[in-house]
Structure 1
Amino acid sequence: MSEQNRRPLPHDFHPPVPSFTVVSDDVEPGGTLKSAQVYAEGNTSPQLRWEGFPAETKSFAVTCYDPDAPTGSGFWHWVLFDIPVDVTELPAGAGSGAFEGLPEGVVHVRNDYGSRDFGGAAPPPGDGSHRYVFTVYAVDAEKLGPDADASPAVVGFNLRFHTLARAQLIGEYENPAAG
């Protein structure tokens, strides 16, 4: 996908908010995702850690979104929220269906694969490089509001009104054309 054809990021349509820092042992900013984060290979959510968020933060939400998916609406790979404010790191694999490494009460909604977990990168062969935007939101409430049956769009709607600050980390992945 050429640079000029890349689609906007989901929070480009939200009011501007301050930023803070998110880093990962598994995703290098602007780098290629490791096989562990690819759907057909490891399908493992990356380790993430964040700092520098506003003092009034009451909880966090984490998403992974591919704005370059050929759907007209992008593709949600991971959506979780109601992460307690004292949790500032998720271990690799926390997005598995077993929810290991996640504190009790964290809500996982269905991704666009239809499952409540992390779904790795899987762009169509030959579609070019896709961006995978890992975003951590500092939220002004302990509970965002939606439940586990909400869609990523409903979660995004609620985040639009409850985000104090946002941190993002973008990795890329390309599935070369066959042959």
Structure 2
Amino acid sequence: MHKLLIASCFTALTVASLSSASANEFRLYSPDVESDGEIDSSFEYDGFGCSGDNQSPELRWENPPPGTRSFAISVHDPDAPTGSGWWHWRVINIPSDVDHLAANAGAPDGSNMHEDAVQIRNDYGDKGWGGLCPPAHGEPHRYTFTVHALDVETLDVPDDASPAMAGFMIHQHRIHEAGFMATYTRYED
């Protein structure tokens, strides 16, 4: 009986400890895009054969790790038929006291972005959000949304840096990352 009571207490403490660890995990989420859900067509690109609103979704993050001095955001389609996927958005130099990007923060003119943050060129060749635009009537594409906690306040990249160059610098200074995936299928030509 005594061993059973000890085992029950140990199990309860382990579950409580796991629950509190989960509650304090670095986490990225969006009120506009459900993790593992289908992304709304309003986030589709306007051009390149697509006709969406080309607006970025709102993104929120919480519980960054100790030592975080800035954040970076990336959105990538690993299923794009390019051999290397497609970078839809890269944002760097987001101050460590910022915990979200508002809806349409990725406007190409930067008007909705935090003043210290820098939007890197996407694979369309533009700075800002480059909306979803998979081939019409194909299989759903997966989109990975990631927030990176970095150990520097500012990443030193050229103004015309490619998404790959920004990615290299992000990975050199990344403490931790959090993210989610959602899918999108384009049904119109």
Indicate the TM-score class for this superposition, using the shorter chain for normalisation: 0.7 to 0.9
- Post-superposition Cα deviations, 1:88-108, rounded to whole Å, max 9, x if no partner, equal 110000000122332222111
> Are 1:148 and 2:159 matched, yes or no?
yes
Structure 1 unaligned blocks of 5 or more: 1-18
- Contact 1:128–1:176 at 8 Å: present in 2 too? no
Q: Which of residues 98, 105, 122 in structure 2 aligns to 1:94?
A: 105
Percent same amino acid among aligned pairs?
A: 44
Rg (Cα) greater in structure: 2
Aligned residues: 160
- Contact 1:93–1:100 at 8 Å: present in 2 too? no
- Equivalent residues in 2 for 1:24-63 (5 A)? 24-39=30-45, 40-63=51-74
Indicate the structure whose relative CO is greater, using CA pairs within 8 Å and at least 6 residues apart: 1
TM-score, normalising length from structure 2? 0.81
Distance 1:168 1:154 in 2: 20
> Are 1:133 and 2:139 matched, yes or no?
no
TM-score, normalising length from structure 1? 0.85
Distance 1:156 1:149 in 2: 14
Alignment match, 1:9: none
State the secondary structure of the residue aligned to 1:165.
Answer: strand
State the secondary structure of the residue aligned to 1:145.
Answer: coil
Alignment match, 1:14: none
Residue 177 of structure 1 deviates from its aligned partner by 7.3
- Amino acid across the alignment from 2:42: A
**Greater helix content:** 2
- RMSD between aligned residues: 1.4
> Are 1:117 and 2:123 matched, yes or no?
no
Residue 131 of structure 1 deviates from its aligned partner by 0.8
State the secondary structure of the residue aligned to 2:122.
Answer: coil
Distance 1:171 1:45 in 2: 14
- Post-superposition Cα deviations, 1:37-74, rounded to whole Å, max 9, x if no partner, equal 11121211000010111121000000110000000010
- Contact 1:108–1:148 at 8 Å: present in 2 too? no
Q: CA, structure 1 residues 94+177, in 2 after alignment: closer, same or farther (shift >3 Å)?
A: closer
> Are 1:83 and 2:94 matched, yes or no?
yes
Distance 1:106 1:78 in 2: 13
Distance 1:74 1:131 in 2: 10
- Amino acid across the alignment from 2:53: G
Structure 2 unaligned blocks of 5 or more: 1-24, 46-50
